[in-house]
Structure 1
Amino acid sequence: MSVSRIVRSCLRSASLLAAAGMLTALLSAPANADDYDAAIKDIQSTMGGVPSFLTKFPKAGLPGAWAEVKAIELSDKTALPPKVKSLISLAVAAQIPCSYCIWSDTQDAKRAGATDEEIQEAVAVSALTRHWSTIFNGMQVDFETFKKEMGAQ
């Protein structure tokens, strides 16, 4: 191998190592402690405690994740009322399936005023959606034909 090829190879390796080092530094950069502490305090205030599973979430991501949950799922100032959001979440959780979410979403739905009948219907609708999705996809139903037959405008 010529000297110039060795030098280019070393430079390329050094560049890759430098890039890898920068990426590692960026990915392992500590979270803004003030943002993290503020999120923990807000969780404590909102929920009456900090569930232990949140301590397993990356510190850098917790403030953003909490802000998203609080702004969408927990807020009553969104387009969907809390009961509807809980029923949607329960229906999705039943399909994933996620026993943690099923339990929690059922509790949330009941606290938001959902009846047992509404909970049962939400889960049944999710089952119907899964059923028909299996039929449409498995039988390769033509999507354009489907839209026409179902009244596409």
Structure 2
Amino acid sequence: MTALLSTFARVLAAGGTAAFLIYVPSSAYADDASNALATTHKDIEQTFGKVPDFLKALPDSGLPGAWAETKALEFSDGALTVKTKALISLAVSAQIPCNYCIWSDTVSARQAGATDAEIKEAVAMAAITRHWSTIFNGMQVDFEQFKKDLGGDTTANK
């Protein structure tokens, strides 16, 4: 450790930091990453009963963060319910399009209590949004005039 601090002091005295960053031993980071990955795998197994193959396709370094974000945002109620989030995700997935997402979002929406009518309406809203967006953008409708025509505040959302 003393040698490391001495090296750090020499690098700083020479006005550099990049050399120090390369020199820093990574074993401590590797241990932390390994523990985070093991904890993440356990959490995923508790949620799905196993670690699905598609999650194994992610790099080990990215899985803990990706899982934490997905679990916190998609799998729990917040300002939006899980059902509403699944319907939004399905609508977006239909527009991308992503067959994997459409299938899983439809299953998730149904598991969260969405009816067939709600699923159809969510997808139809995505379609009509895409439809009008195509017209507005393709016809180069003036945005400021558009806001005035709809009676909105012309300073909002700039």
Please tell me the TM-score bracket, short chain as reference.
0.7 to 0.9
The whole-number CA distance in structure 2 between the counterparts of 1:59 and 1:38 is: 12
2:146 partner letter: F
Q: Could you tell me which residue of structure 2 aligns to residue 117 of structure 1?
A: 117
> Deviation per CA, 1:58-94, whole angstroms, max 9, x where unpaired?
1111110000001100012x11011100000000000
The whole-number CA distance in structure 2 between the counterparts of 1:73 and 1:151 is: 35
2:125 partner letter: V
Deviation at 1:38, TM superposition (A): 0.4
Q: Could you tell me which residue of structure 2 aligns to residue 49 of structure 1?
A: 50
The whole-number CA distance in structure 2 between the counterparts of 1:151 and 1:98 is: 36
3-state secondary structure, aligned to 2:60 = coil
Gaps of 5+ in 2: 1-17, 154-158
The whole-number CA distance in structure 2 between the counterparts of 1:32 and 1:82 is: 30
Q: Could you tell me which residue of structure 1 aligns to residue 69 of structure 2?
A: 68
2:76 partner letter: S
Percent identical pairs in the alignment equals: 62
Give 4+ residue runs of structure 1 displaced > 4 Å after superposition: none
3-state secondary structure, aligned to 1:144 = helix
Q: Could you tell me which residue of structure 2 aligns to residue 9 of structure 1?
A: none
TM-score, normalised relative to structure 2: 0.77
> Aligned residues, how many?
130
The whole-number CA distance in structure 2 between the counterparts of 1:49 and 1:60 is: 19
TM-score, normalised relative to structure 1: 0.79
Deviation at 1:54, TM superposition (A): 0.6
The whole-number CA distance in structure 1 between the counterparts of 2:87 and 2:151 is: 28
Q: Could you tell me which residue of structure 1 aligns to residue 152 of structure 2?
A: 152
Gaps of 5+ in 1: 1-17
Q: Could you tell me which residue of structure 2 aligns to residue 93 of structure 1?
A: 93
